Amino acid sequence: MKFRFAIYMMFILSSLVNLFGQQNGEEDLNNMRKMTQVTEEHKLFEKFTGEWRQNFIGYTGEGDQVGSGYIKNDVILGGRYIESVSSIIVSGVQINGKIIIGYNTKQENYFLFGIDDATNFSISAKGQFDPQKNQLEFNGSDYILSLKKEMPFKILITFERENKYTYQMYFGEGKSQKLLFEYACIKNN
């Protein structure tokens, strides 16, 4: 079934190349094939796999909000993405969420998409991995209702050791950038 689907997709891609009159159709098709493969960048997702305990601190300016919960991270769709499913209790309120992280071979960057049951909107951001810092940095923007404007945000995921990573979200930019919340995630044995 997978083989048949792959052949079908190659036929479509080949037809599109011919349809748009590419001079180097074979070369373009080979490049397209390369873009559909799991790459070295996708191997980073293995660092996330497993079940993790998480401790949460939210910095509201009116006293910190603290919470704890769990995250289950699975590599999905042939190694192309990491799916992170979490449940946390913060100040007595349970929040369930899901994050998908992938690597876009066309744009050569990582991406993050997140949703939860505490809101009716999603977040999305693009990012890069810094091997010296052992850190993924994502940048995006979100519309802030109280300010009635788009506000840039940054998410840092830092692999501190094999069994621990941190997830921090900052809002604003430059000197006005503030840490909104952070998770410390410890892998269950």
Per-residue pLDDT of the chain (189 residues; tens, 9 = 90+): 555 555 555 555 555 555 555 556 777 777 777 767 778 888 889 988 999 999 999 998 777 889 999 999 999 988 899 999 999 999 889 999 999 999 998 899 999 999 999 888 899 999 999 999 999 999 999 887 877 888 899 999 999 999 999 999 999 888 888 999 999 999 997
- Alpha helix locations (H) across 2-116? 2-19, 25-35
How far is residue 140's CA from residue 126's CA, in Å, rounded to a whole number?
A: 7
Category of 6 on φ-ψ map: left (φ > 0), alpha (ψ -120 to 50) or beta = alpha
- What CATH homologous superfamily does 41-187 map to? Calycin beta-barrel core domain (2.40.128.20)
Domain boundaries, the chain: 2-37, 41-187
